[in-house]
Amino acid sequence: MAKDFLGLVSKGRSREAFGLYISENFGHHNDYFKGVRHTLMIAI
């Protein structure tokens, strides 16, 4: 699953990767980004 996610992201298909593998309720704790899925997806 991780390989598939990273493969899509590396091909510029981050929206598809997030749609397939990242929950709508995803949160992260990177101090440089808001803790929401959309912000991280755009950065990737």
Rounded Cα distance, 4 and 27, in Å: 20
- Can you tell me the distance from the alpha carbon of 4 to that of 11, in angstroms, rounded to the nearest whole number? 11
pLDDT tops 90 at residue 9:
yes
Does the pLDDT of residue 10 top 90, yes or no?
yes
Q: Is the pLDDT assigned to residue 28 strictly greater than 90?
A: no
Q: Please give the Cα distance from 10 to 22 (Å, whole number).
A: 16
For the chain, what is the domain count?
Answer: 1
Q: Which domain holds residue 34?
A: 2-43
Query: Which tokens hold the place of 19?
Result: 């749609």
Q: How confident is the model at residue 40 (pLDDT cuts 50, 70, 90)?
A: confident
Q: How confident is the model at residue 42 (pLDDT cuts 50, 70, 90)?
A: confident
pLDDT value at 31 more than 80: no
**pLDDT value for 14:** 92
